[in-house]
Amino acid sequence: MAERYDFTHAERKEKIIRICISTGIWIVSVAAVIALAWLVIYLSIEKTTMVDASMEPTLKQDDRIVIDKLTYRIRDPQRNDIIVFRQGDSEHSFYNIKRVIGLPGEKVRISEGVVYINGSAIEEYANVENMILPGLANYEITLGEDEYFVLGDARNNSEDSRYATVGNVKRSEIIGRAWIRTNKFGFVNSLNQKQEN
């Protein structure tokens, strides 16, 4: 006598397997999208707040800044870029925001409030006040192959590369470039530019 086959049970089992596979694929897809989004955000942008007045009038204390961390994975910082960096390995050290003035291998000196790079006076990109104190840059400073000389735009109210507490900023200490100010929207590098006559 032929055995009777239960088609309903087999169809149900097949349907359950299909649902489980579809659900598994959906869960893996959602997890992959979340992981990818986290990775992109972690590697490319971050937020910080301006903690002092050293970049006025370009950035004011408590301005909220989006940091572009991706650009410097592709190219090195350029003169006049406003960078975000952290010195030291302490978890309590804060992000510092300054303008790049001197590039690796260059010689920097400040005399009578004017910045000289390799013996030539630079033309300032931003509206900045005349410096009263040259600090360490009263004598020529030769930057290492991985060092940058930075200044705050509030030249007489900024702790920057002129002082031993900050000194030259190493490439490895740079987090990224200050990209967008969010509280009063603006692209940071376009703020406080000198107008061409």
Q: What is the mean pLDDT of the chain?
A: 90
pLDDT bin (cut points 50, 70, 90) of residue 2 is: low
Catalytic residue among 22, 29, 54, 161: 54
156 and 68 share one domain: yes
In a domain, 154, yes or no: yes
175 and 137 share one domain: yes
86 and 147 share one domain: yes
71 and 132 share one domain: yes
Residue 98 a catalytic site member: yes
31 and 114 share one domain: no
Name the residue range of residue 39's domain. Answer: 1-46
Q: Cα–Cα distance between 69 and 36 in angstroms, integer?
A: 16
39 and 56 share one domain: no
Q: In this structure, what CATH number is given to the domain that contains residue 178?
A: 2.10.109.10
In a domain, 113, yes or no: yes
Please check the confidence at residue 144 and state whether its pLDDT lies above 70: yes
What total number of domains does the chain contain? 2
34 and 7 share one domain: yes
pLDDT bin (cut points 50, 70, 90) of residue 60 is: very high
* pLDDT on residue 173: 95
In a domain, 130, yes or no: yes
Residue 54 a catalytic site member: yes
Catalytic residue among 15, 69, 93, 98: 98
In a domain, 104, yes or no: yes
CA angle 159, 163, 167 (to 5 degrees): 100
Helix, strand and coil percent figures for the chain, each rounded to 5: 25, 25, 45
Task: Return the sign of the alpha-carbon dihedral for residues 181, 101, 153, 174.
Answer: positive
Q: What pairing do the DSSP bridges indicate for beta strands 64-68 and 45-49?
A: antiparallel
Residue that wins the pLDDT comparison between 156 and 41: 156
pLDDT bin (cut points 50, 70, 90) of residue 6 is: low
- Which residues on neighbouring strands pair with residue 5, listed in sequence order? none
The per-residue pLDDT for range 170-180, each reduced to its tens digit, is 999 999 999 99
pLDDT bin (cut points 50, 70, 90) of residue 161 is: very high
In a domain, 197, yes or no: no
92 and 5 share one domain: no
37 and 130 share one domain: no
19 and 64 share one domain: no
In a domain, 164, yes or no: yes
pTM of the model: 0.80
